[in-house]
Amino acid sequence: MISSNDVRPGTTLLLEGAVWVVVEFLHVKPGKGAAFVRTKLKNVETGQTLEKTFRAGEKLERAQVQSREMQYLYAMEENYYFMDTQSYEQTFVTEDIIGNGKFYLKENDTVVIQFYNGRAISLDLPTYADLVVTETDPGIKGDTASGGSKPAKLETGVIVQVPLFVQNGDKIRVDTRTNEYLSRV
């Protein structure tokens, strides 16, 4: 059990038989009345979001989630196969759990996967990925870093807006959370 006062982003809770992760929280102490904690929760299995308010000090059931570092091996149909870096045990994660993260996975990349009752429930990608530009329009003489952007297809198939000076074959760094170009590598 965990107190609602100890809830932080990333905390996993067991509510109504489902596993929820805290996305945001706000501890509120009004001038009149009892303090409370306002949270925004995300269901790790369905992706549904929910705003819920708890009384200060209310006891909540914490979901026992195990995090394991795993290496990406390959994809087959809608399953992505990973190997535990400690035990060499292989497991798969379905495409609906990975979501847009599939565009940032390359063979042998290491990620952290969370398991609940032996089943993969979520995947944490690195904050950024270094990928090679495979297809983009050529730049025009005089293009500068602040002169606009163009679409570029990367080696994993994702399309990102990049500055005009980026060419085919360039290796760029992309933010995996926002799908934005960060820099050339």
* Torsion angle in degrees (nearest 10) through CA of 147, 150, 153, 154: 20
Q: What does the mean pLDDT of the chain come to?
A: 87
Q: Are the C-beta atoms of residues 102 and 75 closer than 8 Å to each other?
A: yes
pLDDT band at 117 (very low <50, low <70, confident <90, very high): confident
pTM value? 0.72
- Confidence at residue 172, expressed as pLDDT on a 0 to 100 scale: 94
Q: What own/partner pairs with CB < 8 Å and gap ≥ 24 does 38-46 have?
A: 39/7, 41/13, 41/15, 43/18, 43/19, 44/12, 44/19, 44/20, 44/114, 44/116, 44/121, 44/122, 45/18, 45/19, 45/121, 46/18
What pLDDT digit, counting tens, does each position of 136-169 carry?
Answer: 888 665 555 556 788 999 998 899 999 888 889 9
What is the pLDDT averaged over residues 162-179? 89
Q: Are the C-beta atoms of residues 70 and 92 closer than 8 Å to each other?
A: no
What pLDDT digit, counting tens, does each position of 7-63 carry?
Answer: 888 788 999 888 888 888 999 898 888 999 999 998 887 778 999 999 988 999 988
- Confidence at residue 70, expressed as pLDDT on a 0 to 100 scale: 93
Q: Is the predicted pLDDT of residue 171 greater than 90, yes or no? A: yes
Q: Is the predicted pLDDT of residue 71 greater than 90, yes or no? A: yes
For CATH 2.40.50.140, list the domain ranges present in the chain.
Answer: 66-124, 128-184
CATH code matching the domain that covers 66-124, chosen among 3.40.50.10800, 2.40.50.140, 3.30.1060.10, 2.60.120.10: 2.40.50.140
User: Does CATH number 2.30.30.30 belong to domain 2-60?
Assistant: yes
- Confidence at residue 174, expressed as pLDDT on a 0 to 100 scale: 93
- Confidence at residue 147, expressed as pLDDT on a 0 to 100 scale: 66
For the chain, percent of residues with pLDDT exceeding 70:
95
Architecture of the domain delimited by 128-184: Beta Barrel (2.40)
- Confidence at residue 140, expressed as pLDDT on a 0 to 100 scale: 66
